[in-house]
Structure 1
Amino acid sequence: MNIEPIERIVVFRALQLGDMLCAVPALRALRRAYPQAHIALVGLPWAAGFVERYAHLLDELIIFPGASGFPEQEETDAHLPGFLRTMRERRFDLAIQLHGSGGLANDIIEGMGARFNAGFVEPTQPTRRGVFMPWPDELPEPARYTALMERLGIEAGDLGLEIPLTAHDQRECNALIHSCAIECERLVLVHPGAQLPSRRWPVERFGVVARALSDAGWQIAVTGSASEAALTARVLRGAGAHAIDLAGRTSLGALAALVARARLIVCNDTGLSHVAAAMRTPSVVIASGSDTRRWAPLDHARHRVLADWPACRPCAFRDCPYGHECALNVSVEAVLDAAFSQLQSTVAEEMFHYAHD
């Protein structure tokens, strides 16, 4: 790509935590290629904390006001003209569409008026000016965006996720461990939530799994946001008296620090799965509805993904209209078998390293 000098870059990815974590390898490559450039993210309001945490990769958050066809926010074009006018006034050198396969997201990028645009196009979509590659549907999510970096002439071989932890994160995590009497050497985190109901394994089954692990001597802590308290409460009722309720009690940094110290994560195919991948903590992921080729963690040994594949998968629904077959066909026994196998492997690996230190 020969449009030097590149001093101002804008990246469009107005999505949630798990989606943003999957873009980190591409952002890391972009920063290596342009260490002096000002790199702005056009994202959702929550991403202010993300940009602060990834200050080594991003310099600024520009809040996307929403638009028709973007369901993460109110779908209205009321604020879009003013937003695009402001973006054109910024005179970016390069605008990169990392939001998805193309279409409306490319229209947003082109409306920003950068000197040069890059992104993806579906086979049925018209060509765009700039570097727009065919949407690589066969690749895992992180590799899709590093593929675009490579198309831009940027070396991007490292697909590893990362969550930088601060001293404050560690202090917050330590305080939580102390106040809740958490024993990290036998800690299993159970996370029953997911943004879409169609992506959730039945919550009562999480409770049964938690109880069985607790009866086997593992300490159970149930995680979730404050808005998921009703969901985590149902897991806790099944998990037994010794389970710990952490719903709404952890920031992203403290949760990531706790995930790093846990023995195992049991969760849906949601943001916490990507946190576990970033912190290199073994996990069992029950993937309901999602495209596991795209979203499953890349380390298949460290992260066990359980999924059933009825004809309606991958799912495009918020609420399943077909009886949620993909979730119901993943049994409690299958999840427990995977969980105990992961825990046994973790203990064996630790014993090996202890014997050879």
Structure 2
Amino acid sequence: MNAEPARPATLGLTADAAGDRLAPDVHRIAVLRANALGDFIFAVPALTALRAAYPQAELVLLGAPWHARWLDPRPVADRPGPVDRVLVVPAADGIRAAQPDDEPVTMAQFLDRARRESFDLAVQLHGGGRNSNPLVAALGARVTAGLRATDAPPLDRWIRYVYYQPEVFRYLEVAGLVGAEPVTLQPKVPVTGADRAEADRVLGPARQPRAVLHPGASDPRRRWPAQRFAAVADALTDRGFEVLVTGTGPERDVVAEVSAATARPVRTVVDELSLGGLAGLLAGCAVLVANDTGPLHLAAAVGTPTVGIYWIGNLLNGAPPVRGRHRPLAAFTIHCPVCGMNVSTVGFPARGGGDSCGHQESFVTDVPVAEVVDAVLELAPAASSTPGGGHRRSARVPAAVRAAGRPA
């Protein structure tokens, strides 16, 4: 007799076991995830699983001001990871950094308001828990669940925080602690007509297939050199793409550096679009080339092909698991370019790893330009058609471009 196959979508739980873990009489759920764009997108499958497991419950995201600006004006059906409402968490150590638009609310005032919400279930999707678990425990929910690092206090239900784990699976495992089975393994962000209209209003209609380059990242160690992005921009312009270089206000200088280094004209887009407008732009472009940063994960979530440049440790945690539309390219540098410290052992004291050395040099310079261009032309070949109807294949990437991508 054949045994019934296990259901892989339960991530180790049988359907019966998942059902046994459902919390009873849940009418309101708090989910703590108050960090950056990419971090939120990684949590979308877990939010979707919670909605499916508790369809009648209100799902309240304990987030940052940018979450409220992006999500609250949108119809619930058009919000990623069906969030009903955002409750902004005050800035605090280990929770989130202060922002210029923060309301003057203390943590004590926030917790007083949050307890009046009478949450039935509170879920911590915000790191190892040293700072976030006490906050979630203080909400007064009947059941708490989340991650727990070795230096963090426990919640009612917890799973060990281990740094190297795909982020999407990490948060799905947490959702499984309260009986929420996975619905999808890939984050999805709806794009509205208003999002597309904003992008069209700012940028006008595309003249050719658009390739978007995003050269910024909050951590300088994750930034591929601007000159490499410029070489990619020139190669793609020569193959029929309209190239846009995007960034936020703090990334204005690196966007300008890329633009100045190109031999072909590019369109720069810095702080001209809302987050919804950026989603509209990305949804309409042929491909995005970016460092490991929020817009890379947003592009994947709206269905756009991506070429991502990752440090190998970040690739293990953050790269998409599929290759039909995505090409994560790994940099294998593990020693600091300045002092030679082996950063792969940071956080692993049994291997001699201590604190990070603190240097901010790029760890991704060994990804060559030619590899990036090849990946783009494989994912989005239409713009590379020659007037004769053929395609310029990857072997024809100019020698100068290939040389520009070799490590020094």
TM-score normalised by the chain length of structure 2: 0.76
Amino acid at match of 1:32: A
> Does structure 2 retain, via aligned residues, the 8 Å contact 1:226–1:249?
no
- Among 365, 369, 372, which residue is 1:332 paired with? 369
Alignment CA distance shift 1:228-1:127 (3 Å): closer
Matched, 1:292 2:321: no
CA distances 1:258-303 after superposition (whole Å, capped 9, x unpaired): 2122111110011111112112221111114752111111223421
Q: Spell out the pairing of 1:1-357 with structure 2 (5 A cutoff).
A: 1=21, 3-52=23-72, 53=74, 55-56=76-77, 57-70=82-95, 72-73=97-98, 79-122=106-149, 124-125=150-151, 128-135=154-161, 137-178=163-204, 181-183=205-207, 185-288=208-311, 291-309=314-332, 310=334, 311-313=342-344, 321=359, 323-324=361-362, 326-344=363-381
Distance across 1 between alignment mates of 2:146 and 2:199: 38
Alignment CA distance shift 1:318-1:24 (3 Å): farther
Give the secondary-structure state (helix, strand or coil) at the position aligned to 2:76: coil
Aligned partner of 1:354 in structure 2 is: none
Alignment CA distance shift 1:322-1:7 (3 Å): closer
Amino acid at match of 1:26: A
Distance across 2 between alignment mates of 1:251 and 1:4: 39
Distance across 1 between alignment mates of 2:227 and 2:213: 12
Distance across 2 between alignment mates of 1:281 and 1:315: 34
Q: Give the deviation of 1:241 after TM superposition.
A: 4.5
Greater mean deviation of Cα atoms: 160-169 or 17-26 = 160-169
Give the secondary-structure state (helix, strand or coil) at the position aligned to 2:206: coil
Distance across 1 between alignment mates of 2:88 and 2:136: 14
Alignment CA distance shift 1:35-1:50 (3 Å): farther
Aligned pair count reads: 341
Give the secondary-structure state (helix, strand or coil) at the position aligned to 2:364: helix
TM-score normalised by the chain length of structure 1: 0.86
Q: Give the deviation of 1:323 after TM superposition.
A: 4.1
Structure number, greater radius of gyration:
2
> Does structure 1 retain, via aligned residues, the 8 Å contact 2:212–2:285?
yes
Alignment CA distance shift 1:303-1:32 (3 Å): same
User: What's the C-alpha RMSD, in Å, of the aligned pairs?
Assistant: 2.8
Amino acid at match of 1:112: L
Distance across 1 between alignment mates of 2:261 and 2:167: 34
Distance across 2 between alignment mates of 1:67 and 1:189: 35
Amino acid at match of 1:73: A
Alignment CA distance shift 1:138-1:102 (3 Å): same
> Does structure 1 retain, via aligned residues, the 8 Å contact 2:216–2:223?
yes
> Does structure 2 retain, via aligned residues, the 8 Å contact 1:199–1:290?
no
Greater mean deviation of Cα atoms: 332-341 or 267-276 = 332-341
> Does structure 1 retain, via aligned residues, the 8 Å contact 2:305–2:379?
yes
Amino acid at match of 2:368: S
Q: Give the deviation of 1:192 after TM superposition.
A: 0.6
Alignment CA distance shift 1:323-1:169 (3 Å): closer
Query: % of aligned pairs identical?
Result: 34
Alignment CA distance shift 1:314-1:12 (3 Å): farther
> Does structure 2 retain, via aligned residues, the 8 Å contact 1:88–1:113?
yes
Greater mean deviation of Cα atoms: 313-322 or 127-136 = 313-322
Distance across 2 between alignment mates of 1:341 and 1:319: 38
Alignment CA distance shift 1:197-1:320 (3 Å): farther
Distance across 1 between alignment mates of 2:345 and 2:70: 28
Q: Give the deviation of 1:28 after TM superposition.
A: 1.1
Amino acid at match of 2:92: A
> Does structure 2 retain, via aligned residues, the 8 Å contact 1:165–1:253?
yes
Amino acid at match of 1:329: D
Distance across 2 between alignment mates of 1:346 and 1:106: 50
Flag the structure with higher helix content.
1
> Does structure 2 retain, via aligned residues, the 8 Å contact 1:290–1:315?
no
Distance across 2 between alignment mates of 1:314 and 1:334: 28
Distance across 1 between alignment mates of 2:50 and 2:22: 15
CA distances 1:189-220 after superposition (whole Å, capped 9, x unpaired): 11111122222111122112111221232211
Amino acid at match of 1:312: V
Alignment CA distance shift 1:116-1:68 (3 Å): same
